[in-house]
Structure 1
């Protein structure tokens, strides 16, 4: 391990887990599927750690079938860079925007909540935070889904704007419901 980054319990766990994964022959599986998703769609959803093992299985996504683009709050704005590459380079045609109940981004309604926390680290950090729209969801989860879908449908750089839908994932039941 490089001396500029100290070994930590997380890095040890990551390397150990990866060694076990690679030993079982998973790299061959990755080589067989290639980078383009076989079902030609992308999912934009939240980075919430509770969702990680659930996203593919709960949505019936087999390995290699779809791109899963994750970020805080499942923001379409943050996902646009990845989505453009997904559509223009890797042939995805459909997009599902999925936000979830009990999202951390629904627990604050204003950018200032995050900005104040970051600003405590100094002027440089404050400038960085002030330049970012954290896109808080607040109490209107369905409204946030609609807003993201409208944004993507209006984005002229996307190729398949008619194939964008919005959903809410109910974390207490595991059920998905369509919003738009």
Structure 2
């Protein structure tokens, strides 16, 4: 069964043109924060924290330390456009995460190679990679992939930025975000 999603669609022509920058949103004010009974400050409603962008992969972080209050979990919206193999920088790259990585595919087909074994995650399906396992992500077919990624514990967004060459851009800075 194919599920419809109300998530914002990100349209990007990756590898062909640079992403157009628009004005940035103002950061969340301290008055928008809530406090748990245990004293943890968090943002109950928001558009996300930041974009992490690399040639052929775009992640919009939705939940991380800055709005959740701690690093127990991170959630991101992933967009992988279909690009030729010669232009791939993330797709097809074997890597390892320190956190468990969980995918829920919204559209497209996500190639999901775990420790050398190939799988395909289709819309409505979940894929899991435990911490320390080798993973390769790819687009299967002609349709770009849109998925939700969950990392437990968090910290992988910063890992992508500092160790995998992703560039950070603020929410509100990319077309249609």
TM-score tier, shorter chain, comes to under 0.3
State TM-score, norm by structure 1. Answer: 0.23
When you count helix as a share of all residues, which structure comes out higher?
Answer: 1
TM-score by length of 2: 0.23
Structure number with greater Rg is 1
